[in-house]
Amino acid sequence: MRVRYAVTFEFETRPPVTHRGTLEAGKVWTLAHRAVEEASLALHPINWISFVCVVLERLPAEADGPFSGAPLPD
């Protein structure tokens, strides 16, 4: 499945920072893991106190893409 996501890191004394992107995976927990990992690499949050990962929308599968059929093993 292919999704658009947003991950926000929150801090004690600083404003939150958000990373948005699109990714593909076969399972929901893999999507969440990859979204948080990509956001962490992009933002390099230090001393965060919480984070929120939101799947904004599930995108239609590509007709000829590698994720168009049954879910692939992770």
The strand pairing partners of 10, in sequence order, are 50
Which pLDDT does position 62 carry in this prediction? 64
Identify the DSSP state of 31.
H
Structure token digits, residue 47: 């001393």
pTM: 0.79
Tens of pLDDT, residues 11-68: 999 999 999 999 999 899 999 999 999 999 999 999 999 999 999 999 987 644 555 4
Q: Can you tell me the distance from the alpha carbon of 46 to that of 57, in angstroms, rounded to the nearest whole number?
A: 28
3-state helix, strand, coil in the chain (%, to 5): 20, 40, 40
